[in-house]
Protein backbone atom coordinates (compact mmCIF):
# COMPACT_ATOMS: atom_id res chain seq x y z
CA UNK A 1 0.00 0.00 0.00
CA UNK A 2 1.45 3.42 -0.86
CA UNK A 3 2.56 5.70 1.96
CA UNK A 4 -0.03 8.33 1.13
CA UNK A 5 -2.84 5.78 1.29
CA UNK A 6 -1.63 4.48 4.63
CA UNK A 7 -1.48 7.99 6.03
CA UNK A 8 -5.01 8.75 4.83
CA UNK A 9 -6.36 5.53 6.33
CA UNK A 10 -4.69 6.20 9.65
CA UNK A 11 -6.11 9.71 9.71
CA UNK A 12 -9.62 8.44 8.91
CA UNK A 13 -9.51 5.78 11.61
CA UNK A 14 -8.02 8.09 14.15
CA UNK A 15 -11.00 10.36 13.84
CA UNK A 16 -13.29 7.62 15.09
CA UNK A 17 -11.70 7.55 18.53
CA UNK A 18 -10.94 10.30 20.92
CA UNK A 19 -7.50 10.67 22.40
CA UNK A 20 -8.42 9.14 25.80
CA UNK A 21 -9.89 6.02 24.22
CA UNK A 22 -6.89 5.63 21.96
CA UNK A 23 -4.50 5.88 24.89
CA UNK A 24 -6.44 3.38 27.05
CA UNK A 25 -6.83 0.84 24.26
CA UNK A 26 -4.16 -1.85 24.05
CA UNK A 27 -3.65 -5.29 22.60
CA UNK A 28 -4.25 -6.86 26.03
CA UNK A 29 -7.94 -6.07 25.60
CA UNK A 30 -8.03 -8.48 22.67
CA UNK A 31 -6.26 -11.31 24.45
CA UNK A 32 -8.26 -14.40 25.46
CA UNK A 33 -7.71 -16.82 28.28
CA UNK A 34 -7.75 -20.24 26.69
CA UNK A 35 -8.63 -21.95 29.98
CA UNK A 36 -12.06 -20.29 29.93
CA UNK A 37 -12.95 -22.00 26.66
CA UNK A 38 -11.74 -25.55 27.34
CA UNK A 39 -14.35 -28.33 27.71
CA UNK A 40 -15.67 -29.08 31.19
CA UNK A 41 -13.66 -31.76 32.93
CA UNK A 42 -14.24 -33.92 36.00
CA UNK A 43 -18.03 -34.00 35.45
CA UNK A 44 -19.90 -36.85 37.11
CA UNK A 45 -22.94 -38.39 35.41
CA UNK A 46 -25.68 -39.91 37.56
CA UNK A 47 -27.95 -42.54 35.96
CA UNK A 48 -31.52 -42.93 37.15
CA UNK A 49 -31.89 -46.29 35.38
CA UNK A 50 -28.98 -48.53 34.49
CA UNK A 51 -25.40 -47.40 33.92
CA UNK A 52 -23.13 -46.08 31.18
CA UNK A 53 -22.85 -49.52 29.55
CA UNK A 54 -26.57 -49.75 28.79
CA UNK A 55 -27.83 -49.36 25.27
CA UNK A 56 -31.19 -47.89 24.29
CA UNK A 57 -32.68 -51.36 23.84
CA UNK A 58 -31.54 -52.31 27.35
CA UNK A 59 -33.57 -49.41 28.73
CA UNK A 60 -36.76 -49.73 26.66
CA UNK A 61 -36.68 -53.46 25.93
CA UNK A 62 -38.05 -54.67 29.29
CA UNK A 63 -41.20 -52.62 28.66
CA UNK A 64 -42.14 -55.09 25.93
CA UNK A 65 -42.18 -57.92 28.48
CA UNK A 66 -45.27 -56.42 30.07
CA UNK A 67 -46.82 -55.54 26.71
CA UNK A 68 -46.39 -59.06 25.28
CA UNK A 69 -47.59 -60.65 28.49
CA UNK A 70 -50.71 -58.50 28.69
CA UNK A 71 -51.63 -58.83 25.01
CA UNK A 72 -51.04 -62.58 24.68
CA UNK A 73 -52.87 -63.43 27.90
CA UNK A 74 -55.76 -61.17 26.92
CA UNK A 75 -56.12 -62.73 23.46
CA UNK A 76 -55.79 -66.38 24.49
CA UNK A 77 -58.11 -66.15 27.49
CA UNK A 78 -60.76 -64.03 25.79
CA UNK A 79 -60.86 -66.07 22.60
CA UNK A 80 -61.01 -69.37 24.47
CA UNK A 81 -64.00 -68.29 26.53
CA UNK A 82 -65.85 -66.87 23.52
CA UNK A 83 -65.17 -70.04 21.50
CA UNK A 84 -66.45 -72.29 24.28
CA UNK A 85 -69.55 -70.16 24.66
CA UNK A 86 -70.19 -70.32 20.90
CA UNK A 87 -69.77 -74.12 21.00
CA UNK A 88 -72.39 -74.48 23.73
CA UNK A 89 -70.04 -75.52 26.51
CA UNK A 90 -71.20 -72.76 28.83
CA UNK A 91 -74.84 -73.67 28.23
CA UNK A 92 -74.19 -77.29 29.13
CA UNK A 93 -72.33 -76.19 32.25
CA UNK A 94 -75.26 -74.05 33.36
CA UNK A 95 -77.60 -77.02 32.89
CA UNK A 96 -75.71 -78.86 35.64
CA UNK A 97 -75.94 -78.13 39.39
CA UNK A 98 -72.68 -76.16 39.10
CA UNK A 99 -73.20 -72.48 39.87
CA UNK A 100 -72.14 -69.66 37.57
CA UNK A 101 -69.67 -68.35 40.14
CA UNK A 102 -67.98 -71.73 40.34
CA UNK A 103 -67.67 -71.88 36.55
CA UNK A 104 -66.16 -68.41 36.46
CA UNK A 105 -63.81 -69.28 39.31
CA UNK A 106 -62.67 -72.43 37.54
CA UNK A 107 -61.93 -70.55 34.34
CA UNK A 108 -60.10 -67.85 36.29
CA UNK A 109 -57.97 -70.40 38.13
CA UNK A 110 -57.13 -72.35 34.97
CA UNK A 111 -56.27 -69.34 32.86
CA UNK A 112 -54.47 -67.75 35.81
CA UNK A 113 -52.16 -70.75 36.14
CA UNK A 114 -51.50 -70.73 32.40
CA UNK A 115 -50.82 -66.99 32.55
CA UNK A 116 -48.34 -67.50 35.39
CA UNK A 117 -46.57 -70.18 33.35
CA UNK A 118 -46.57 -67.92 30.32
CA UNK A 119 -45.16 -65.00 32.30
CA UNK A 120 -42.40 -67.20 33.71
CA UNK A 121 -41.40 -68.40 30.23
CA UNK A 122 -41.41 -64.88 28.77
CA UNK A 123 -39.33 -63.54 31.66
CA UNK A 124 -36.88 -66.45 31.45
CA UNK A 125 -36.38 -65.95 27.72
CA UNK A 126 -35.93 -62.18 28.19
CA UNK A 127 -33.30 -62.55 30.90
CA UNK A 128 -31.48 -65.60 29.54
CA UNK A 129 -31.55 -65.57 25.74
CA UNK A 130 -32.16 -61.89 24.97
CA UNK A 131 -29.98 -60.77 27.86
CA UNK A 132 -31.97 -57.94 29.38
CA UNK A 133 -29.95 -56.52 32.31
CA UNK A 134 -31.48 -56.85 35.75
CA UNK A 135 -29.99 -54.99 38.70
CA UNK A 136 -32.87 -55.45 41.12
CA UNK A 137 -34.68 -58.29 42.82
CA UNK A 138 -35.82 -60.91 40.31
CA UNK A 139 -38.60 -61.98 42.66
CA UNK A 140 -40.22 -58.55 42.42
CA UNK A 141 -40.06 -58.75 38.63
CA UNK A 142 -41.75 -62.16 38.69
CA UNK A 143 -44.41 -60.85 41.08
CA UNK A 144 -45.08 -57.88 38.79
CA UNK A 145 -45.41 -60.14 35.74
CA UNK A 146 -47.80 -62.50 37.53
CA UNK A 147 -49.90 -59.56 38.75
CA UNK A 148 -50.14 -58.18 35.22
CA UNK A 149 -51.11 -61.61 33.93
CA UNK A 150 -53.92 -61.98 36.47
CA UNK A 151 -55.24 -58.50 35.66
CA UNK A 152 -55.16 -59.40 31.97
CA UNK A 153 -57.13 -62.59 32.70
CA UNK A 154 -59.75 -60.55 34.57
CA UNK A 155 -60.03 -58.13 31.64
CA UNK A 156 -60.38 -61.02 29.20
CA UNK A 157 -63.23 -62.47 31.28
CA UNK A 158 -64.95 -59.09 31.12
CA UNK A 159 -64.42 -58.84 27.37
CA UNK A 160 -65.66 -62.39 26.79
CA UNK A 161 -68.99 -61.35 28.25
CA UNK A 162 -69.22 -58.43 25.81
CA UNK A 163 -67.94 -60.10 22.65
CA UNK A 164 -69.93 -62.63 20.64
CA UNK A 165 -67.20 -63.66 18.17
CA UNK A 166 -63.40 -64.06 18.45
CA UNK A 167 -62.96 -61.18 16.02
CA UNK A 168 -64.73 -58.86 18.45
CA UNK A 169 -62.16 -59.82 21.08
CA UNK A 170 -59.45 -58.46 18.78
CA UNK A 171 -61.47 -55.29 18.28
CA UNK A 172 -61.91 -54.78 22.01
CA UNK A 173 -58.13 -54.81 22.44
CA UNK A 174 -58.20 -51.29 21.03
CA UNK A 175 -60.46 -50.28 23.91
CA UNK A 176 -58.84 -52.10 26.83
CA UNK A 177 -55.18 -52.78 26.00
CA UNK A 178 -53.96 -50.10 23.60
CA UNK A 179 -54.74 -47.15 25.96
CA UNK A 180 -52.71 -48.88 28.68
CA UNK A 181 -49.75 -49.19 26.31
CA UNK A 182 -49.99 -45.54 25.26
CA UNK A 183 -50.37 -44.22 28.81
CA UNK A 184 -47.82 -46.45 30.56
CA UNK A 185 -45.19 -44.38 32.33
CA UNK A 186 -47.32 -41.22 32.36
CA UNK A 187 -48.56 -39.82 35.65
CA UNK A 188 -51.96 -38.29 36.22
CA UNK A 189 -50.56 -34.76 36.33
CA UNK A 190 -49.32 -35.17 32.76
CA UNK A 191 -52.38 -36.71 31.12
CA UNK A 192 -55.13 -35.88 33.61
CA UNK A 193 -56.44 -32.85 31.72
CA UNK A 194 -56.45 -34.70 28.39
CA UNK A 195 -58.29 -37.65 29.93
CA UNK A 196 -60.88 -35.31 31.42
CA UNK A 197 -61.51 -33.79 27.98
CA UNK A 198 -61.74 -37.26 26.43
CA UNK A 199 -64.26 -38.45 29.01
CA UNK A 200 -66.22 -35.25 28.48
CA UNK A 201 -66.46 -35.89 24.74
CA UNK A 202 -67.51 -39.50 25.41
CA UNK A 203 -70.22 -38.38 27.81
CA UNK A 204 -71.46 -35.83 25.27
CA UNK A 205 -71.42 -38.45 22.51
CA UNK A 206 -73.46 -40.96 24.51
CA UNK A 207 -75.87 -38.23 25.61
CA UNK A 208 -76.50 -37.17 22.02
CA UNK A 209 -76.80 -40.80 20.91
CA UNK A 210 -79.36 -41.54 23.64
CA UNK A 211 -81.34 -38.43 22.67
CA UNK A 212 -81.27 -39.51 19.03
CA UNK A 213 -82.55 -43.00 19.87
CA UNK A 214 -85.26 -41.53 22.05
CA UNK A 215 -86.31 -39.19 19.25
CA UNK A 216 -86.46 -41.98 16.67
CA UNK A 217 -88.44 -44.14 19.02
CA UNK A 218 -90.96 -41.36 19.55
pLDDT over 70 percentage in the chain: 68
Residue 28 CA to residue 42 CA, distance in Å, equals 31
Question: What count of residues does the chain have?
Answer: 218
- Most confident among 73-77, 134-138, 170-174 (mean pLDDT): 73-77
Residue 116 CA to residue 99 CA, distance in Å, equals 26
Lowest mean pLDDT among 79-88, 154-163, 190-199: 190-199
Domain boundaries, the chain: 56-178
Among 105, 185, 186, which residue's Cα sits nearest to residue 153?
A: 105
What pLDDT, on a 0 to 100 scale, did the predictor assign at position 185? 62
> Span 190-208, mean pLDDT?
74
Residue 66 CA to residue 159 CA, distance in Å, equals 19
> Span 37-44, mean pLDDT?
67
Residue 94 has pLDDT above 80, yes or no: no
pLDDT over 90 percentage in the chain: 0
Where residue 152 falls among pLDDT bands split at 50, 70, 90? confident
- Residues with Cβ within 8 Å of 166's Cβ and at least 6 positions away in sequence, in order, are 79, 82, 83
Lowest mean pLDDT among 72-81, 100-109, 179-188: 179-188
User: Any idea what DSSP says for residue 37?
Assistant: G
Cα 191-162-186 angle, rounded to 5 deg: 15
Where residue 16 falls among pLDDT bands split at 50, 70, 90? low
Residue 72 near residue 148, CB atoms below 8 Å? no
Distances (CA, A) of 72 to 79, 149, 186, 203: 11, 9, 23, 31
Beta-carbon count within 10 A of 66 CB: 19
Residue 28 has pLDDT above 70, yes or no: no
Amino acid sequence: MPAEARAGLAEALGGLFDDDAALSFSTEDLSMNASNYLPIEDMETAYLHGNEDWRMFDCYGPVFIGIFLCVFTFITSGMSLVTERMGGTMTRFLATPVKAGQILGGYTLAFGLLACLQSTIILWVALTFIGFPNEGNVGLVVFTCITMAMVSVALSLLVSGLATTPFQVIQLILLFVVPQILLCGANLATVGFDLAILWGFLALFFTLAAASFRKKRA
